[in-house]
């Protein structure tokens, strides 16, 4: 039961992170991709998203 709850929370957290990232990445259009990825990673990490969630979001966006 705990694992099911954890999976749902992770999915919700990933969706929120993806929405935030999609808004933010618009500001990084003119930057090289590696710079945009680095900045977006730092942005999401500073907002408390875990490394796995940040990685999933970056994979979806780039």
The model scores a pTM over 0.75: yes
Angle, to 10 degrees, between the axis of helix 33-46 and the axis of helix 2-25? 130
Res 6 pLDDT > 70 = no
pLDDT tens digits, 36-55: 999 999 999 999 999 999 99
> What pLDDT band is residue 8 in, cutting at 50, 70 and 90?
low
Q: What is the pLDDT of residue 11?
A: 86
Q: What is the pLDDT of residue 9?
A: 75
- The matching CATH number, chosen from 1.10.10, 1.10.620, 1.10.3470, 2.60.120, for 2-61 is 1.10.10
Segments making up each domain of the chain, as ranges: 2-61
pLDDT tens digits, 11-28: 899 999 999 999 999 999
């Amino acid at each position: 039961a705990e694992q099911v709850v954890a999976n749902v929370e992770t999915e919700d957290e990933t969706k929120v992170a993806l929405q935030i990232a999609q808004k933010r990445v618009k500001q990084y259009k003119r930057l090289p991709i590696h710079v945009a990825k680095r900045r977006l990673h730092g942005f999401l990490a500073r907002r408390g998203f875990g490394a796995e969630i940040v990685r999933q979001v970056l994979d979806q966006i780039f």
